[in-house]
Amino acid sequence: MSTHILRIDASARREGSISRRLSDRIVAHLAPETVTHRDLAQPLPLIDEAWIGANFTPEVDRTDAQRKALSLSDALIDEVRAADTLVIGLPIYNFGVPAGFKAWIDLVARAGVTFRYTEAGPEGLLTGKRAVIAVTSGGTETGSEIDFATGYVRHMLSFIGITDVEMVSADRLALDAEGTLANAEAQVDRLAA
């Protein structure tokens, strides 16, 4: 049961977005006690040289400027830590994830914080969470050889420890918007609450 959802909307569109519409339905279906909303239509900064320098400086040696450079990343990670379920509205743009979502991943995937390297390979540190992804596309079929979004999202979530990932797919909306949306809404209704 979801008690705290982190809802992430990756669509650049605030009005008329199918991924937002599906995310609304998922959140209502899961009926959490708390929802934290991260809207990536409000752009996140891209990582830069100062951020990378701060990230790779041991915490005890960081300057105030380096701590400030990592403060948004720390806040985004805290949002994930606080949630037991992530609901991600994810349109496919040009066969991949929107740039805003990639920026979110870059700020959240941090060695020693959300994953670590072991002798057995990388280990995600944000375990015990569930993710439900509302994937939408105009023409890209999810899971097809031209879908570079869903595999990436599954991999990155698993990389940071979130392995319980479910996809609600409203793909190829340009071909049959009404039927595709009805199918996706039925998928939401079948989700375990």
Distance CA 132, CA 23 (A): 9
Tell whether 11 is in a known binding site: yes
Distance CA 104, CA 53 (A): 18
Q: Where are the beta strands (DSSP E) in 75-147?
A: 85-91, 115-118, 121-124, 130-136
Neighbours of 136 (CB within 10 A): 27
Tell whether 136 is in a known binding site: yes
Tell whether 158 is in a known binding site: no
154 burial type by CB count under 10 A (0-12 exposed, 13-18 middle, 19+ buried): middle
Tell whether 138 is in a known binding site: yes
Tell whether 139 is in a known binding site: yes
Tell whether 17 is in a known binding site: yes
Tell whether 18 is in a known binding site: yes
Residues annotated within the binding site for FMN are: 11, 17-19, 136-139
Q: Which residues are annotated as a binding site?
A: 11, 17-19, 136-139
